[in-house]
């Protein structure tokens, strides 16, 4: 099996009043970055994706330096925080990108539970974000950059997406401000704070988060209570 790895070395970004420094980050599985709003998490992802150049440092994908490549040549999959509406109906979008990338959309539709969405027209923000995630996955990128990918999705679908993400088996940088979500996704965690990326810290709390979720799933608790006889 080919070893996939995304590596950031000595990356410095100074823009829009932000100053961010990443000494070294090696991403081989699921890496989650947490931090307060405005700490620079999104700016870091956009820089890795190639939307602007860092002031210094290098970005490597499978050992190749991609720092100077345009976004379309980086073999990365990127999902921004805010859903993007493309000029397609959902089913047309999936078919178009499946054909473009030579992929079968059926697998992604099933795993993400998109059967109803793919047949619809007007989508909510959460449904549109799911459609965009499916579009990114059809590309089968070498590594994924996901920025708050489930923040607008309902709880049940959010858990389905997280379970699918855990099975992808490729380098992933996942940005969130939700600590439970971070613990359910991560193999390792980084903290963006004071303009610097701190870590990695191994995720030793996954089982605790899973147990807490199974015991305190509000949807299940309310359904049980509602079904009790008076």
In DSSP notation, 58-99 reads: EEEETTEE-TTS-GGGS-EEEE-SS----SS-HHHHHHHHHH
| Per-residue tokens: 171 | 């380098």
Q: What does pLDDT average to over the chain?
A: 91
pLDDT band of residue 204 (cuts 50, 70, 90) is very high
CA separation for the pair 158, 120 (Å, rounded): 20
Residue 204: burial class (beta carbons within 10 Å; 0-12, 13-18, 19+):
exposed
Crossing angle for the helix pair 105-112 and 155-166, to the nearest 10 degrees: 130
Q: What pLDDT digit, counting tens, does each position of 136-173 carry?
A: 999 999 999 999 999 888 888 888 899 999 999 999 99
Cα of 182 vs its chain's centroid, Å:
11
d(CA 230, CA 224): 13
- Predicted pLDDT of residue 195: 92
**Tens of pLDDT, residues 112-139:** 888 887 776 678 888 899 999 999 999 9
User: In which element (H, E) is residue 174 found?
Assistant: strand 172-175
The pTM for the full model equals 0.91
Fold of domain 1-75+169-230: Rossmann fold (3.40.50)
Predicted confidence band at 102 (pLDDT cuts at 50, 70, 90)? Answer: very high
pLDDT in tens, 64-88: 999 999 999 999 999 999 988 988 9
């Amino acid at each position: 099996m080919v070893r996939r790895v995304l590596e950031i070395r000595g990356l410095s970004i100074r823009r829009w009043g932000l100053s961010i420094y990443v000494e070294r980050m090696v991403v081989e599985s699921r890496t989650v970055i947490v931090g307060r709003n405005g700490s620079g998490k999104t700016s870091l992802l956009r820089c890795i994706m190639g939307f602007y150049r860092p002031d210094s440092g290098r970005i490597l994908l499978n050992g190749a330096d991609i720092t100077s490549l345009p976004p379309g040549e980086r073999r990365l999959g990127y999902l921004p925080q805010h859903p993007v509406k493309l000029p397609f109906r959902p089913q047309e979008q999936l078919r178009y990108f499946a054909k473009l990338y030579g992929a079968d959309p059926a697998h992604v539709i099933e795993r993400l539970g998109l059967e109803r969405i793919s047949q619809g027209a007007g989508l909510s923000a959460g449904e549109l974000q799911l459609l965009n995630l499916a579009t990114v996955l059809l590309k089968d990128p070498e590594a994924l950059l996901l920025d708050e990918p489930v923040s607008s999705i309902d709880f049940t679908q959010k858990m389905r997406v997280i379970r699918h993400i855990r099975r992808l088996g490729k380098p992933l940088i996942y940005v969130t401000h939700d600590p439970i979500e971070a613990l359910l996704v991560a193999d390792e965690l980084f903290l963006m704070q004071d303009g610097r990326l701190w870590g990695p810290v191994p995720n030793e709390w996954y089982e605790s988060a899973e147990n807490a979720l199974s015991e305190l799933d509000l949807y299940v608790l309310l359904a049980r209570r509602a079904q009790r006889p008076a």
